[in-house]
Every structure is written in structure tokens, then in C-alpha cells.
Amino acid sequence: MKAAADVDQITQHLILAYASDMYLMSSGMRPHGLSWFTGEVNGASLDHALWFHAPVHFENWHLYSMDSPWSGQGRNFNRGSIYSEDGTLVASVAQEGLMRKARRKP
């Protein structure tokens, strides 16, 4: 297996695309007291957009800043900014999600 530093830039972008979807919808669930960890919510991504601004180097740390400017009526809009260790914005993310309270099993 190759080390992250030895992986080509296309593969680094693919990994970032996968990682950018993890927990992004959680930003829109927090105002409603919901979390993936409680098992009280079902959700689905309705759309997910990602813009690359700079090369990605996964052998280094990155900061993923997420927020949800709107959440209600069973949907949420989420944004993310991914920064490299030196503070360079390497990618921006936007996602609309569907969230529903999970049905309790009898």
C-alpha cells in the first residue's frame, strides 16, 4: 500500500470527496437536538457539491469547518470549508439533506 504522500493528486481528490460527505449533515441536525449517534434520525443526502481550490495532501492535517445556515421542515442545507495545515482553502462543500425522526420499533 502506498503512503499518502506517494498517491497521485486525482486519488487525493477522490479521498477528499469521500471524506467531505462524512458528518456534514450533522450540522443541520444539531439545532433540532438530533444526532446520528442516538439512532433517532434517518437521513439522506439530496445533493452534494464539491469544489477543489488547491492541491490536497492527505499526509498532512486538514481543518473541516462545517455549518448549517438553514434547517427545517425535514431538510437542511449544509456548507463546509476544508483548509490545509497552512490555512489554504483547498475545497468548499455544499449539501442539502433530508432528515426524519426514526420510527421506534415496537
User: Pick the catalytic residue: 20, 26, 68, 95?
Assistant: 95
Is residue 27 part of the annotated active site? The answer reads no
Catalytic site includes residue 6: no
Please state, in angstroms and rounded to a whole number, the distance separating the CA atoms of residues 66 and 38: 20
- In sequence order, the 6+-apart residues with CB closer than 8 A to the CB of 31 are 68, 71
- Phi and psi angles of residue 70, each rounded to the nearest 5 degrees, phi first: -150, 135
Look up 73 and say whether it is catalytic: no
Q: Which of 21, 81, 84, 92 is catalytic?
A: 21
* Catalytic position from the list 35, 45, 65, 67: 45
Catalytic positions:
21, 45, 95
